[in-house]
Chain A
């Protein structure tokens, strides 16, 4: 019992710092309004997409240039803003063409800014926009990606797809804080975006043992005298 108690004490010291980090990061995350963190207060729930309307004469699909494969997963005719487009999904990529002229559509700065603005509600104005060739950790999985910055009090930045101009995410300074806190909370120091790492499993088991053995010590540590007035004021 003495050795286990000693072990408990030292383990408590070793794990204590992470417990402090867990409790502190968890507390801050629960206090910060999740709707603001997730960008839901600046993002407009997008209205139903525009109907096709009059499509006029469509460019022949088999004459589109530059598609890496003759085999596709899907061809979609839809509106992108006011423009009627074909979206060709092949196994590894997506391609957008003007459905009237057959020219490939590239997302320009103007277009990225217009879509970002259309998805935005708030007092801010656009202060800058950049095409990030290497993508951004704030919008993983899309590269390159457009980042459009607003000058509101949240420092909102809107990420826009470079492929089809779709708004991917609204991020802000609170998101950044929570992202950092989650890294600490998950012990995900290499930022692989996962909480299934070995350090958290080990520390998690240690913390579990601490709390179970701690409960045992609490039960053993209290005596009947502790629950009397004399015991309380001792």
Chain B
């Protein structure tokens, strides 16, 4: 766990640094758009103007859901399809390997997603590291990425904290008992060494 740099575990090297497209403050009349969107969606908790998939878009947040709206047409953008998900994945990916398959996960998320919201596109690459990119069908952003070293690290973490189910509870009783025994083992070793080296005698002579 300590030898491989944590940034590599996180898969930073697999992802092209993403420069999100910038939008000019003077483009169109933004204030009118915001006013109109707020009037027609009073339940929304936030309205953002940003660049999604290279298009200037509004993103409404409403009841935990995110709704993308194309800024030029004012229409709700449709969720991205497999082909778009794959081409986005290729754009984010620093490698040259091909994509093996892409699947839209709508139920039963794999544990390695760690509770991120569904649905989500899973795109698998045909590389040495079995790289997987997870892409949001709503915004097209790279939500997270996983690869062999991450999976090995996660497995080692499970062994480390001895939570063989969820891999996240550091307060489980197996760990508490085993680390108590380990503590006793090490302390008894120190104690044994104390007598073995006759340190009491040494200390007495020194004082």
- Indicate whether A and B interact: yes
Give the interface of A toward B (CB within 8 A): 13, 16, 19-20, 23-24, 26-27, 29-34, 48-55, 57-62, 67, 70-79, 91, 194-197, 200-201, 204
A34 and B170: CB pair below 8 A?
A: yes
Among A70, A91, A201, find the residue whose CB has the most chain B CB atoms closer than 10 A.
Answer: A70
> Across chains A and B, which 3 residue pairs bring their CB atoms closest together, nearest first?
A71-B22, A78-B46, A74-B50
Interface string of B92-133 (1 = CB under 8 A from A): 000000000000000000000000000000000000000000
Contacts of A13 in B (CB 8 A): 193
CB closest residue in chain B, given A203: B2
Given contacts A23-B179, A61-B25, contact A30 B38 (CB under 8 A): no
A16 and B190: CB pair below 8 A?
A: yes
Contacts of A200 in B (CB 8 A): 2
A-B Cβ contacts below 8 A, count: 131
Given contacts A31-B176, A61-B34, contact A73 B5 (CB under 8 A): no
A52 and B44: CB pair below 8 A?
A: yes
Interface size class of B (residues with CB under 8 A): 35 or more
Q: How far is the CB of A190 from chain B (nearest CB, A)?
A: 15
Contacts of B20 in A (CB 8 A): 73
Q: CA A201 – CA B1 in complex, angstroms?
A: 9
Residues of chain B in range 9-33 having any CB-CB distance to chain A below 8 Å: 20, 22-26, 30-31
A49 and B46: CB pair below 8 A?
A: yes
Residues of chain B in range 153-195 having any CB-CB distance to chain A below 8 Å: 161, 169-172, 175-176, 179-180, 182-183, 185-187, 189-190, 193
- Other-chain contact of B179, A20, A30, A58, A91 (Cβ < 8 Å): A30
Q: How far is the CB of A187 from chain B (nearest CB, A)?
A: 9
Whether a CB of chain A sits under 8 angstroms from the CB of B138 is: no
Q: How far is the CB of A74 from chain B (nearest CB, A)?
A: 4
Q: How far is the CB of A79 from chain B (nearest CB, A)?
A: 7
CB closest residue in chain A, given B187: A20
Interface string of B41-83 (1 = CB under 8 A from A): 1111111111100000000011110000000000000000000
A71 and B179: CB pair below 8 A?
A: no
B44 and A51: CB pair below 8 A?
A: yes
Would you give 8 A-B contacts (Cβ < 8 Å), ordered by A?
A55-B34, A61-B25, A61-B31, A62-B26, A73-B51, A74-B48, A195-B6, A196-B6
Give the interface of B toward A (CB within 8 A): 1-6, 20, 22-26, 30-31, 34-35, 38-39, 41-51, 61-64, 161, 169-172, 175-176, 179-180, 182-183, 185-187, 189-190, 193
Given contacts A201-B3, A204-B2, contact A24 B34 (CB under 8 A): no
Given contacts A70-B25, A195-B6, A201-B2, contact A60 B31 (CB under 8 A): yes
B26 and A73: CB pair below 8 A?
A: no
Contacts of B35 in A (CB 8 A): 55, 57-58
Contacts of A23 in B (CB 8 A): 179, 182-183, 185-186
- Other-chain contact of B49, A51, A53, A75 (Cβ < 8 Å): A75
B6 and A76: CB pair below 8 A?
A: no
Q: CA A19 – CA B47 in complex, angstroms?
A: 53
Q: How far is the CB of A28 from chain B (nearest CB, A)?
A: 9
Q: A30-B175, A52-B38, A76-B46 are in contact. List 15 more A-B contacts (CB 8 A).
A: A16-B190, A20-B187, A20-B190, A24-B183, A26-B182, A27-B180, A30-B172, A31-B171, A50-B45, A58-B35, A59-B31, A73-B22, A74-B50, A196-B5, A204-B2
